Amino acid sequence: MVPIEAVKSREGLAYLGGAALAFLISALLIAGGIERYLTEDALREAVQAYHRDAPDARAKLVELKDARPGDASTRVLLGCFELERAEDADRLGVAERLFEEALGLEPGRTSASVGLAAARLRLAALKAAEGRAREAASVGELIDRSGLDASDPDVVALRAGMEVLRGRPEQALQLLSSPPRTTPSRAGQGAWHWNRAAAAILARDGDALEAALPAYLLRRLPLPAESQNDPNGPPGDAARLLTMAYRVSLADPAARPPTTEALTQRLERAAAAATLRAGGSGLLRGRYLPPGREEAAVQNALGMAQARLERWADAAESFEQASRANPEEPLYMLNMALARRRQAEGIDAATDAKGRTAAFQRAGEAFRRLCESLAGKEGREATRVLAATSGASALLAGGDVRGAIVLYRTHSTGHPNPAEQARDLGALLDHAKDKACVDEYRRAISLNHPETAALERRVRVRSRR
Amino acid sequence: MKVEAVPFYAILVAAVTGGCWFVLRYEFYRFKDPKLRQFCDPEISEGTQRLGRDVMFLRDDALQVGDIVRFRTARTGAETTSRVVAVAGQRVAIVAGRLHIDGVEVKDPWGKRANAADVVPDLFVPEGCVYVLNDMRWSNHSDRLDSRAFGPIPVRSVEYVFSPKDGGG
């Protein structure tokens, strides 16, 4: 046996000693490597679970944090996890405490400072206006105390967020005017685009939608999932941001582009981003179309831009989709009916009399549906009367006099100007050569209509029929 | 131990070590996707088996353009497969259906059937992420299953990597 032979001589002992030492060192290295592997494995698994949004991601991160009491990075990781998923002050508070713990363990840690500033900014956003500005300013002091690099994209995004919360969107836009020179993290880039979109919306910048699209693309969850926590509650942040961006870009008079071509370009881009489009197996929602009531607002904004460009058929289609997405809001139905009416007016009677008639009838039908939806609703009388008046004139232009009379008679009750109502009804009956028009004209005269003289002449003429 | 046996044992140890390394790093993966034909080269559909590289030891910069990756994020909701077209630090733009990297149009060898009207915002690929696109750019809802729908994906969300060469690995 080699060891027995080796101890018989000094050389053998030396070789044996050397071998034993080498073996011991190797064993220690292997044991250290295995321990490091297992430790790194736990970290690796936790990080992967975090990025894959595994169901046990939080448990793994908490376990990792508890297993490494002196490690700031685990607290930063868990803090980022909580920050991404926080929807209320409680969870934001949890994230804030984790980042504070990380800073307590490692005072100069940049990621902990940035995370803490982000958590406090989001907490500030939940406060009322006065408190919001004050809290945002305190975040600025935190950033200054932390000695963070001012050119760091994450820091620039934070400062822009501060300016937005302080009600200074122009300053925020200036900070975010040029893209970051170094590559930020996904969360950092998301914050950069988000703050830019928010600032553009507040500043009523026509490029708000261009800023909002990448901001949404970098969100953690897709649109429907963001809004699904409470189907009857307020929509998720991303849905609200996108909706406001569409509104500002397309329908806000303050953000109106200088030329028709510019508006057309903006509209085409927005429509491609939002519209339902044909896919391999039927219609697909646009990638940037928020669900529910927000969809209605987006479709309405598209319709407003199309109306501005006098594309009445497209506008009517957009308003109709808005009305389908939110049947409770009569504004969309009113817009649709008005667009149909303008579409009808644009058809030349000399070249297409039938088409013009049919278009007016469609417009009249739209107004009728609106009147029926508003019937009996408090506070909607003025809109109903307007719809009845416009609908009656549309049906009249479409050759349906009787329909116009029925519509107006049924839905003009509660007219703010009874003399006007009587005169209009009289005019409609007159069109139908109905003698009842005389009674209505007389009623208008008794109510001191401004055109009393003309009405009296009509009464005399109609009475002789 | 005889001196002549040393090379034998050395080869044996090397073979065992290499085998362990191979088992730890690689795995035959059978694709479960329905026949979407998202990829053209190599063609991958339901039942295709490829040698995939395990990503446990994957560094952030280990993925290359052309790699096919299998990943899962909160945004995708399920396992999704796509091809890397840009890595961290690169600027990606899709203009009129054509891929541009860092402002230069790329002769994209894999992309088919793009849609010129598709709206995709320009983005820098963030640190620790890659940008993925399906080969069939506009069929079978493929635009819903790559970075056009959910942005760049974190490298750490990748579960398997398949190189563009046939057979993978």
**Other CB atoms within 10 Å distance of the CB of residue A379:** 7
Block means of pLDDT (10 residues each) for chain B, length 169 residues? 66 81 71 57 63 66 85 82 90 87 83 74 90 79 80 89 58
- Does the pLDDT at position A111 exceed 50? yes
Among B122, B128, B148, beta carbon nearest to A185: B128
Percent of chain A having pLDDT more than 90?
A: 60
CB of B93 within 8 Å of any CB in chain A? no
| pLDDT value of position A42 | 84
- Give contacts of A214 with chain B, Cβ < 8 Å: 121-123, 151
B68 vs B73: CA distance, rounded Å = 16
Contact yes or no for A218 and B122 at CB 8 A: no
pLDDT band at A424 (very low <50, low <70, confident <90, very high): very high
CATH architecture for segment(s) B26-162: Ribbon (2.10)
CB of A280 within 8 Å of any CB in chain B? yes
Among A41, A189, A272, beta carbon nearest to B124: A189
Contact yes or no for B127 and A50 at CB 8 A: no
When pLDDT is averaged across residues A267-273 and rounded to a whole number, the result is 91
- Give contacts of B72 with chain A, Cβ < 8 Å: 52-53
Angstroms from A219 CA to nearest CA on chain B: 8
What is the number of CB-based contacts under 8 A between chain A and chain B?
A: 86
- Give contacts of A280 with chain B, Cβ < 8 Å: 139-141
The mean pLDDT of chain A is 89
Nearest 10 degrees: Cα torsion A146, A151, A152, A153: 130
CATH architecture for segment(s) A41-167: Alpha Horseshoe (1.25)
- The answer to whether A197 touches A229, Cβ cutoff 8 Å, is no
| pLDDT value of position B6 | 67
When pLDDT is averaged across residues A344-372 and rounded to a whole number, the result is 94
- Give contacts of A48 with chain B, Cβ < 8 Å: 156-157
A427 vs A177: CA distance, rounded Å = 60
CB of B151 within 8 Å of any CB in chain A? yes
| pLDDT value of position B4 | 63
| pLDDT value of position B168 | 41
pLDDT band at A462 (very low <50, low <70, confident <90, very high): confident
* Residues 169-208 (A) with a CB less than 8 A from some CB of B: 179-180, 183-186, 188-189
Angstroms from B42 CA to nearest CA on chain A: 23
- Does the pLDDT at position A345 exceed 80? yes
- Does the pLDDT at position A369 exceed 80? yes
CB of A221 within 8 Å of any CB in chain B? yes
Ranges for all domains in chain A classified under CATH 1.25.40.10: 41-167, 290-415
* Residues 12-41 (B) with a CB less than 8 A from some CB of A: none
- From residue A376, give the alpha-carbon distance in Å to each of A126, A170, A384, A391, A403: 39, 46, 10, 18, 21
One-letter amino acid at A68 equals R
A59-109 pLDDT tens trace: 999 999 999 999 999 999 999 999 988 888 999 999 999 999 999 999 988
More confident residue, B113 or A345: A345
| pLDDT value of position A122 | 92
Contact yes or no for B71 and A184 at CB 8 A: no
CB of B3 within 8 Å of any CB in chain A? no
CB of A6 within 8 Å of any CB in chain B? no
- CB within 8 Å of A436: residues ≥ 6 apart: A429
How far is residue A268 CA from its own chain's centroid?
A: 18
Lowest mean pLDDT across A389-398, A419-428, B65-74: B65-74
- CB within 8 Å of A17: residues ≥ 6 apart: none
CB of A464 within 8 Å of any CB in chain B? no
- Does the pLDDT at position A281 exceed 70? no
- The answer to whether A269 touches A263, Cβ cutoff 8 Å, is no
**Domain A290-415 falls in which CATH fold?**
1.25.40
A402-420 pLDDT tens trace: 999 999 999 998 899 999 9
Six-digit token string for A297: 């607002």
> Where do the structural domains in chain B lie, given as residue ranges?
26-162
* Residue burial A4-43, b: 16+ Cβ < 10 Å; e: rest: eebeeeeeeeeeeeeeeeeeeeeeeeeeeeeeeeeeeebb
| pLDDT value of position A163 | 92
- Does the pLDDT at position A45 exceed 70? yes
More confident residue, A172 or A129: A172
- The answer to whether B101 touches B90, Cβ cutoff 8 Å, is yes
When pLDDT is averaged across residues A189-215 and rounded to a whole number, the result is 93
Among A218, A281, A288, beta carbon nearest to B151: A218
Contact yes or no for A217 and B151 at CB 8 A: yes
A48-68 pLDDT tens trace: 888 888 889 999 999 999 999
Enumerate the β-bridge partners of residue A348: none
Contact yes or no for A51 and B73 at CB 8 A: yes
When pLDDT is averaged across residues A171-193 and rounded to a whole number, the result is 85
Q: Which residue in B has a C-alpha nearest to residue A212's C-alpha?
A: B121
- Give contacts of B71 with chain A, Cβ < 8 Å: 52
pLDDT band at A428 (very low <50, low <70, confident <90, very high): very high
Whose tokens are 């026509």? That residue is A206
A292-324 pLDDT tens trace: 889 999 999 999 999 999 999 999 999 999 999
pLDDT band at A232 (very low <50, low <70, confident <90, very high): low
Six-digit token string for A80: 């980022």
A457 vs A454: CA distance, rounded Å = 5
